[in-house]
Structure 1
Amino acid sequence: MVNNSAFLGTFKVFHSVLHNFSKAFYKNPFVLARVGARSARMSSSPIKNATIGKVFVQHYNPVSGQQEWEMQDEDYDYSKEVASSAYADMLHDDERNQLYYDAIRKAVATLRARGDSVRVLDIGTGTGLLSMMALQCGADHITACESFEPMACCAEKVLVANGFAEKVQVIHKRSTELVLGEDLPERANLLVAELFDTELIGEGAISTYEHARLHLLTEDALLVPSGALVYAQVVSSDLLASTNVPYYNRPPHSSHLNLPSWLAECPGSISVHDLQLSQLDPSHFTAVSEPLCMFKFDWSGRDIPLSTTDTVHVSFLSRLDKSLECHAVFMWWHLIMDQDQDIVLSCAPTWAERDSSLAWRDHWMQAVYHLPRPFIPLTAHSSSKPLILTAARDDYSMWFSLSHGTTDVRPPAPHCSCGQHLVNPRTRLAQLSDIHRLNFLSRVLDAALALPRTMAWLVLGDASNVLLIGRLASHANVQHVYVHETIRQNRRLLLDFLELNALKEHVTLLPEDLSKISVAAVKHKIGVVFAEPHFNSSLLPWHNVRLSSLLSECSHLLPPSYASVQPHSSKSSPSDQRPQELSSSETNGRNVSEDVPSNLTNPTDFESNSFVSRSVDLNFPTSKSLESHCAGNTVPSLPISTSAMLLPACVSIHVMAVSFDDLWKIRAPCRQRCGFDLTAFDEMVDLARTGTGEVVEPQPLWEYPCYSLHEPVMITKLYLREPICGVQRHFKGNVELDVDALRASDAARPDRIKRQARDKSADAQPELYFNGVAVWADWHFADQTISTGPLAHDHLTGRKVAWNATCHQGVHLLRHPRSLLSPATSGISKIFHYCLDLKDGNFSFKFQLEEERCNASSE
C-alpha cells in the first residue's frame, strides 16, 4: 500500500526520503536503481517527441559507467513502478487476507450491535480488496483513498468488475489531504488500512494514524488492525557482524597492517537490515535472550498515545554455554487485528515460534539491528548480572543498545561516521569480511607474487580491500601499486590506512578519469591488473564487467604485448614463442593469446596458460542438444593488447531453471482472492510489462529456497581483454529437463508439492512448477574461480540450492509458472531454452520452456 503519512515540516520529509532510500540501497539495489533513475529524470527532464508519443529518458548503464538515452513510452514512470511492484506478494498472502477479513467482519458486527451505521475509511486502498471485504461484511458507506494514480485507477476497475463501483468512493489523494465534508461526508467509525513495512513504522504509520484520529475518525472508531507488538531478541553472530563491521575478518598475511581507529568507532547506519530470518541457519547465531516485547502500539491512540518518540528498557538474564559477544538484535512484530486481541498476525521467523507452517511474506520480513561497538562480552555460565536492552524510536525508525546494570538513558540514533555504511551496500561489507573469499583472493595473490620478477600492480574497482592493497604495497616483489577508487569515502579510508602503515610512498591513487592520465604519470611498468571485481553501481553480478570498460580507458598505461614488440620467428623454439595477437576478424572478436600455452616467464603466460587448464575445470553440463553459439557478432575495435596479466581474465555467465518455494508469488497473477476478482490488477501489470522484455532482477537467493531443475549451464564466457561496450553478440542454448529424475527428487517431496499446488484438496494431483530462472557470473583468476552463484555446481538436479550469501543473483520470475508433473503433459519432452543478447554493455535475456508437441512459451 502507498504511504499516506502526514509530513509535518521539511525535516520530516527529508528524514523519510533518506530513511527509505537507505533501506532500499541496503536490501535491494534494484529498488535503488529505480529511485536513482527517477532522481536523474527530475534533474534532467525527459525529451518528448510529440509526433510518436515517446520520451527519451536518461538512464545509467552500470557496465559502461555512463549516462545513456533510450526511448520509452510517455507513461514510462508508472509502467516501471507497476511492473516491478510487490503488490502481488501481499495479495498472495492468504493468511493476511483472511485475518483482515475476519477482523473486519468482527468490527462491522460490533458497530451493528451498537446500533451504528458503518462508515468505513480505507487508507491506501491499493486494489480495493479491504473495501470489498467491508462491503461484503455489511458496511453502509466506504471511502477509499489512494495517492498512487495507477493503483487508484486500478481499484476503480476492480470495483467495477466486482459490482461495487456505486458503493465505494475512491479518492485519488493521500489520507492527509482528505477534507471532511468534501471528500468524506462525515467522520468514519471504522478505519481499515495496511500502512506497514518490515520496520512497522517505516512508511509513516504513526503520523498517518494520528492525523486520521484527529481529523477523519469518530472518538469511538474501531480500527483494523487495532495495534501492534514489537519483539526483539539479542543474538551473537559473527556472520551478521561481518555485514556491518568493515573488515570484521582479515585476510591471511595482513596481521602486520593496522586499520584507522575511527573505523572501529563508527556506530553503523540507522538503516534497517531486513532479512528472511527463517532462512538463517541456527548454527550462524546464538540467542543471548528470549524474545522480549519492547514496543506496544494502539493505532487508535486511546489507550497508548501515538507519540513521535519513545524509549523502552527491558532487563533480562542470560545463561550461556560459551563465552561470546553480543552483536545484534533480531526484530519482528505482531499485528493485533481486533479490539479484543483475539486475531493476531505474526511476522515471527519460523524457528521463534517453532511453527514451520507460518505464512511466508516478503513485504513484511524480520529485521536485524546491529549493536554499536564495543560489543558487550559475556562469559559462559555467568548470569548474575542483568543486561538491559534499550529500544528507542522516532516517527519512522527504531534502534537498540545493550548495557549492563540499570539505565534510563535514551541512546542516540546511530549515524555512520566512517562513510563505509553510506556508500557501500551490506553485501560489499560482507565480502570484505568473508573468510572464504579472502582466502581465495589471497591464493590468487600468492600465485602472482611467486612469479620470478618484480612488477607494479594496478588495482581497479570500488571499495577494494585495503588490507589486500597493503599486502601488495609491502611485498618485496611489488614495485608499486596504482589504485583506481572513485568514491570519496573509500579514498579517505585508503589514504588514512596508507599513512597509518607508512605505505604512502608505495601506492598512488589515480584520478577518476583513467583515459586522461598521461603515460608519464605512471612511472612503473604495470605487470598485473587486479580487481575482485566490485563496483557499487553494479546491480547484477555481470554488471561488474565494467572492468572491461576501465581496462579500455587505461590501456594506454599498460605495456604492449610481447607480440607487438617482438616479431615472431619461425625458427624459435616452442618454449621461446610468445602468444600472438590476431585481428578480430581472425578470432571472431576473441583474444586467442589467452588460449595458447607458453612458458611462465612473463605475466601474460601465467594468465593464459592457467586458462588452458581451467577450461577443463569449466566443464559445465550441457544439454543433450546444446546449440550454444555466437552469431551476428560485431566488434568495433581490437582487443586490448598488453603483456600485463589480467586478474580476472574472463567471466562466465551461467543459467539454471529453478522451482522456488515462494519467491514466484511476487510476480504471479492474483486472479481471485477471498472470492474477489482481481484480474484488473493482473491486466494492469501485464500491460506495464509489455515491451519491457524478460526482467532479470537482483535477489539474495539464500533467503529464498529453490530447487534446481537441471545442472547449471554456462551461456558464454567473456574475455575482459575484449571490448564489451559497443559490441553486439547473441548466445543461445537449451537443456532438456529430466522429468523422471525430478519426480523422484527432493523437489517433488510430498510436503513441498502440497505447498506449491494451487489445488490443496486431499485428492489433488502432485505438481512441480518451473517458476523461475537464476542467472549468475563466475570470475576466473588464472586457475581459480570465484562464483556469485551456487556454493556447489555439481549434482544439483532436483536438490535445494545453497547460494553465495555475500552477493545478489539475477532472477527471472515467470509470470505464469509451468507445471512439470501434470498428467496432461506426461511423456512430453520439456526443453528449457535460454538466450542472451549483448548489446552496448546491456545484457538482455530470454527464456522459454518448450514442450515437444505444443511448443508453449513460458510467458
Structure 2
Amino acid sequence: MKVFCGRANPTTGAVEWVEEDENYDYHQEIARSSYADMLHDKDRNEKYYQGIRAAVQRVKERGERAIVLDIGTGTGLLSMMALTAGADYCYAIEVFKPMADVAKKIVEKNGFSDQIKIINKHSTEVTVGSDGDMQCQANILITELFDTELIGEGALPSYEHAHTHLVQERWEAVPHRATVYAQVVESKRMWSWNKLLPFSVQSESGNCEKSIVPFSEMESCPGAPCVHDIQLSQVAQCDFTPLSEVLSMFRVDFSKVVSSSPASHTVQFKPVTSGKAQVILSWWDIDMDPAGTIKCTMEPHWIHHPPQDVPWRDHWMQCVYFLPDEEPVLQGEAVKLMAHHDDYCLWFSIQKNRSDGSDQEDVSLQRPICRCEAHMLWNRPRFGELNDQQRMDQYRRALKEVLKADSVCLCVSDGSLLPVLAHCLGAEQVFTVENSAVSHHLMEKMFKANHLEDAIKVIEKRPELLNSDDLENKKVSVFIGEPFFTTSLLPWHNLYFWYARTAVESHLSNNATILPQSASLHMMVVEFKDLWRIRSPCGNCEGFDVSLMDEMVKNSLNFRESQEAEPHPLWEYPCRSLSAPKEAMIFDFRQTVPEQSISSEGSMKLIRNGTCHGAVLWMEYHLTDDITVSTGLLRIADEKGNCQWSPHRKQAVYFFSSVIEPVTEMICPTEVAYSICFNPKTGEIGMEFKSIF
C-alpha cells in the first residue's frame, strides 16, 4: 500500500508530499542498520559461539535439556549457533517485523526451522505456557541487546523481565557479565564539543578586541543527556591528558536477577597528574563465561595489547561523557568518580572531599538535562565548529574584505555567530534569520549576554516570508551564511543557503555582496580501512548462510535512489585516496538558483594501487576569491594517500555497488568515470560511477 508522507526538503526548504511504500521507514532502518557490521565482526561472533558452546555443555552436564531463549535474535545467527553447539530447542525473539520475517527465512534455509521458533514480539510481551509463545521456560539466556553505552537499547528492563518470567530458577547466561570502565581526562578538544568557549574579535580598525562570551546559563548547563559515541581510537592521544588510571566502575551479572532501577556506583581514585577533570572516556567488555576466559572488549587501541590487534566495529564503539563543570583535581589527592544510570542512560559526576574531611554533596542522581537550549540546537560537531578559532578567523578575514561602514547585513544560517563578527567589524545594521523558536530564543540570549541585543535584530521567519518591515525598509548590501542548517544530512543539503538567497532577491541592493560567493562539490575515489564492512555482503557467516540479509539490505538501499550517498564523519574512519581530488560542480551564489539542471561528467584517474570501495563527496565554500573553507578533505597527509578530514561536518560516501579492484596485475581499472546531476527543483544530486579498464 502506498501512503503520502509530508517531508521538509533539506535543500530547497519546501514541504513536499511524497508517495512512499507504507514500510518506507522500515526499509530505511534496515538500510542504515549495523547488521552487516555485526555479521562481519568475527571477534564478536567467535566469542559468542565459544560462550554458547560452554553454556550448553554446562547444562548438559547437569543432565538437563538445553532450552535456549535468544532475545534480539536479528538474523537468527546466535540461535543457529546454539543448535549447532548441541542445544535442543530455541525460542528466538525479534521485535522488528521485517527482521523477524527474514530470520524465519534464514533459519529455514539453514535447516533449523523445526528447532527454532521466531517470535515477533518485544520480549516483555512474550508469554509462557501451553497456550503461550513459549511452551516452557528456558535455561540458557542468549542476548545481544547492547549498544555503545551498553544499556541504551533497554537491556536492563529486558533482562529484568526475562529473569522473572522467561527463564528457569537456574539459568546460564551468554554473555555472563558485563563490566563498565571509565577514565577521567582533560581535553581541550573534546571539551570544545560540549561548551561554547569565549573568543576574541578584532575591531575593524584593529585597535581593540572584543571578547565574545557564552551567556551564564550556557556556561552552567550540564549539557545534552545523551552519550557521544565515537571511534575513540581515532582521537589522537596528544588531544587528551589522562587524569586517572582506567577504573572499573560497575558490573552487571546476567546470571543473576538484574534490576532496572536507578543506581549509582562510586570508585575512589588518586589522580595520576593534576589538571581539570572535564571528560569521561568509557567503554565496556563482556565475559561470555563465568570464569571470564572468553572476553569481548570494546577498549580503545591504546589500552589494548597489542594495539594493532584491536577489533574494528561500528555497532559498538566507545563513549564520551562530559562532566557538568570542569573540576580541578590534584595529583595524589583522593577523588571519587560516580557513575549513575537509570534504565536506559549513563552519566558521571566527580565528588571531592571537603577541607573538613566530609564528602561534597552529590546532586547528580537525576539525569542531566540541557537548560540553555544550545545543546538542543547544536550537536557535538557543531560546538567544535563554532569553537574552531582558525575557521572563525577565515570568516573574519573574509567579512573584513567586504564590509563597509554603511553595510546592511542579513545572515541566514542556523545559530550562527557570523552576525557577531559582522557587527564587530563595523557593519551599520545586522539582521539574522532563525527558522525556529528555539534558535531565535538562543541567539537572542547570546546577543544579550554580549550587549548586542540592540545591534543585531533576530527575525524568526522563513527567508521567503521576509518583508520590508522585517528589514526596517532597508536594502541588504551583504548577504552572509556559513552555510549551516540543522536539517542538513548530506553536504549539498546546505545549498539551502542558495535557495534562501534566491528567496530574498527583492530585498538585496544592486551589486549586493554574497558571502560565500560560491560553493563547489568535490570528490575522490578512496579505499577504506574498515568502513567498507558496513555495506559489504555477508553471504556466509561462521558457516551459516545469511545471504538473505544481503538481499534485504540491498533492496532497502535501492528503495529510494536519493539515499545512495550516505553521511559519515570520515575523521573517524581512515581511508586512502586512490585518485586526486576533483572539482565536479560549482554553484554560483551570486546568481539565483537556475531553472535548468546542472550536470557534470568526466573521470578520475587512479593514481595509487588499492581497492576502490567508493567515492567521497564534500563541499568547499569560497567566501571570497582567495578565502575558501572546506567541509571535507583538509589534506592528503602522505605519499600513501592517507587523508585528513574536517572533524566538524559529515562527508558523503557513495559505496560502489561492486567493489572495483584489480583482477590481475595486468588487468586493472585505470579510471573511474562519473556522471553527476543537480536537480534545482528537488535540490537533489544524482550520481553514477563506473570503472574504465
TM-score band w.r.t. shorter chain:
over 0.9
Q: How does 1:644-663 map to 2 (within 5 A)?
A: 644-663=512-531
Query: Which residue of 545, 549, 566 maps to 1:681?
Result: 549
Give the alignment's TM-score, normalised by structure 2.
0.93
Counterparts of 2:332 and 2:246, CA distance in 1:
20
Aligned to 2:623: 781
* Secondary structure at 2:643 match in 1: coil
Aligned to 1:710: 579
The structure carrying a bigger strand percent of its residues is 2
Asked if the contact 2:565–2:652 (Cα under 8 Å) also holds between the matched residues in 1, the reply is yes
Aligned to 2:433: 484
Query: Which residue of 435, 441, 447 maps to 2:395?
Result: 441
Q: Per the alignment, do residues 173 and 473 of structure 1 end up closer, same or farther by CA in structure 2, a change over 3 Å counting?
A: same
Counterparts of 2:300 and 2:202, CA distance in 1:
36
Counterparts of 1:103 and 1:297, CA distance in 2:
17
Q: Per the alignment, do residues 244 and 727 of structure 1 end up closer, same or farther by CA in structure 2, a change over 3 Å counting?
A: farther
- 1:299 equivalent in alignment to 2:167: no
Deviation at 1:92, TM superposition (A): 0.5
Deviation at 1:796, TM superposition (A): 6.7
Counterparts of 2:89 and 2:333, CA distance in 1:
57
- 1:463 equivalent in alignment to 2:415: yes
Aligned to 1:849: 690
Counterparts of 1:77 and 1:68, CA distance in 2:
17
Query: Which residue of 749, 760, 770 maps to 2:612?
Result: 770
Aligned to 1:810: 652
* Secondary structure at 1:255 match in 2: strand
Counterpart of 2:618, as a letter, is W
Deviation at 1:726, TM superposition (A): 5.4
Asked if the contact 1:791–1:804 (Cα under 8 Å) also holds between the matched residues in 2, the reply is yes
* Aligned CA-pair RMSD: 2.0
Counterparts of 1:292 and 1:557, CA distance in 2:
59
Q: How does 1:397-546 map to 2 (within 5 A)?
A: 397-405=345-353, 406=359, 409=362, 411=364, 412-449=366-403, 451=404, 453-465=405-417, 468-475=418-425, 477-520=426-469, 521-546=471-496
- 1:55 equivalent in alignment to 2:3: yes
Q: Per the alignment, do residues 470 and 689 of structure 1 end up closer, same or farther by CA in structure 2, a change over 3 Å counting?
A: closer
Q: Per the alignment, do residues 644 and 417 of structure 1 end up closer, same or farther by CA in structure 2, a change over 3 Å counting?
A: same
* Secondary structure at 1:214 match in 2: helix
List per-residue Cα deviations over 1:607-662 (Å, max 9, x = no partner): xxxxxxxxxxxxxxxxxxxxxxxxxxxxxxxxxxxx11000011000111111111
Deviation at 1:165, TM superposition (A): 1.4
Aligned to 1:272: 227
Query: Which residue of 301, 304, 325 maps to 1:350?
Result: 301
Aligned to 1:246: 196
Asked if the contact 1:545–1:720 (Cα under 8 Å) also holds between the matched residues in 2, the reply is no
Counterparts of 2:487 and 2:90, CA distance in 1:
46
Asked if the contact 1:252–1:438 (Cα under 8 Å) also holds between the matched residues in 2, the reply is no
Q: Per the alignment, do residues 134 and 719 of structure 1 end up closer, same or farther by CA in structure 2, a change over 3 Å counting?
A: same
Counterparts of 1:144 and 1:404, CA distance in 2:
47
* Secondary structure at 1:371 match in 2: strand
Deviation at 1:835, TM superposition (A): 2.0
Runs of at least 5 residues in structure 2 that lack an aligned partner in the other structure: 204-208, 354-358
Query: Which residue of 673, 679, 684 maps to 1:833?
Result: 673
Deviation at 1:147, TM superposition (A): 1.4
* Secondary structure at 1:413 match in 2: coil
List per-residue Cα deviations over 1:264-296 (Å, max 9, x = no partner): 111111110011000000111111101101111
Counterparts of 2:210 and 2:580, CA distance in 1:
41
Runs of at least 5 residues in structure 1 that lack an aligned partner in the other structure: 1-52, 562-642, 744-767, 853-859
Counterpart of 1:350, as a letter, is H
List per-residue Cα deviations over 1:302-346 (Å, max 9, x = no partner): 5xx4241111111111232xx632210000000111122211110
Counterpart of 1:148, as a letter, is F
Aligned to 1:48: none
Counterparts of 1:86 and 1:701, CA distance in 2:
17
* Secondary structure at 2:45 match in 1: helix
Counterparts of 2:553 and 2:409, CA distance in 1:
50
Counterparts of 2:596 and 2:639, CA distance in 1:
34
* Secondary structure at 1:826 match in 2: coil
Asked if the contact 1:836–1:843 (Cα under 8 Å) also holds between the matched residues in 2, the reply is no
Aligned to 1:231: 181
Counterparts of 2:59 and 2:112, CA distance in 1:
22
Query: Which residue of 167, 170, 175 maps to 2:115?
Result: 167
Asked if the contact 2:523–2:581 (Cα under 8 Å) also holds between the matched residues in 1, the reply is yes
Query: Which residue of 137, 140, 151 maps to 1:190?
Result: 140
- 1:179 equivalent in alignment to 2:179: no
Counterpart of 2:275, as a letter, is L
Asked if the contact 2:201–2:211 (Cα under 8 Å) also holds between the matched residues in 1, the reply is no
- 1:131 equivalent in alignment to 2:97: no
Query: Which residue of 286, 290, 293 maps to 2:245?
Result: 290
Aligned to 2:532: 664
- 1:219 equivalent in alignment to 2:173: no
List per-residue Cα deviations over 1:796-815 (Å, max 9, x = no partner): 77411111001111112234
* Secondary structure at 2:553 match in 1: helix
* Secondary structure at 1:64 match in 2: coil
Counterpart of 2:601, as a letter, is K
Q: Per the alignment, do residues 443 and 505 of structure 1 end up closer, same or farther by CA in structure 2, a change over 3 Å counting?
A: same
Which stretch of structure 1 is more off in the superposition, 242-251 or 645-654? Answer: 242-251
Counterparts of 1:725 and 1:265, CA distance in 2:
47
Counterparts of 1:352 and 1:721, CA distance in 2:
52
Deviation at 1:473, TM superposition (A): 2.5
Deviation at 1:832, TM superposition (A): 0.7
Counterpart of 1:313, as a letter, is T
* Secondary structure at 1:505 match in 2: coil
* Secondary structure at 1:102 match in 2: helix
Counterparts of 2:370 and 2:138, CA distance in 1:
43
Counterparts of 1:514 and 1:709, CA distance in 2:
41
Counterparts of 1:160 and 1:830, CA distance in 2:
44
* Secondary structure at 2:376 match in 1: helix
Counterparts of 1:848 and 1:473, CA distance in 2:
46
- 1:728 equivalent in alignment to 2:680: no
Q: Per the alignment, do residues 90 and 480 of structure 1 end up closer, same or farther by CA in structure 2, a change over 3 Å counting?
A: same
Count of residues in correspondence between the two structures: 675
Counterparts of 1:771 and 1:471, CA distance in 2:
41
Q: Per the alignment, do residues 103 and 720 of structure 1 end up closer, same or farther by CA in structure 2, a change over 3 Å counting?
A: same
Query: Which residue of 328, 346, 353 maps to 1:377?
Result: 328
- 1:112 equivalent in alignment to 2:64: no
List per-residue Cα deviations over 1:699-738 (Å, max 9, x = no partner): 1100001000111011110111334485423222212213
Q: Per the alignment, do residues 176 and 248 of structure 1 end up closer, same or farther by CA in structure 2, a change over 3 Å counting?
A: farther
Deviation at 1:166, TM superposition (A): 1.5
Q: Per the alignment, do residues 727 and 511 of structure 1 end up closer, same or farther by CA in structure 2, a change over 3 Å counting?
A: farther
Counterparts of 1:301 and 1:251, CA distance in 2:
59
Aligned to 1:325: 276
Counterparts of 2:42 and 2:605, CA distance in 1:
35
Counterpart of 1:709, as a letter, is L
Aligned to 1:73: 21
Q: Per the alignment, do residues 300 and 711 of structure 1 end up closer, same or farther by CA in structure 2, a change over 3 Å counting?
A: same
Counterparts of 1:161 and 1:252, CA distance in 2:
69
Aligned to 1:790: 633
Counterparts of 2:141 and 2:640, CA distance in 1:
47
Asked if the contact 2:147–2:316 (Cα under 8 Å) also holds between the matched residues in 1, the reply is yes
* Secondary structure at 2:51 match in 1: helix
* Secondary structure at 2:408 match in 1: strand
Q: Per the alignment, do residues 106 and 847 of structure 1 end up closer, same or farther by CA in structure 2, a change over 3 Å counting?
A: same
Counterpart of 1:832, as a letter, is V
Q: Per the alignment, do residues 135 and 233 of structure 1 end up closer, same or farther by CA in structure 2, a change over 3 Å counting?
A: same
Give the alignment's TM-score, normalised by structure 1.
0.76
Asked if the contact 1:511–1:517 (Cα under 8 Å) also holds between the matched residues in 2, the reply is no
Counterpart of 1:438, as a letter, is M
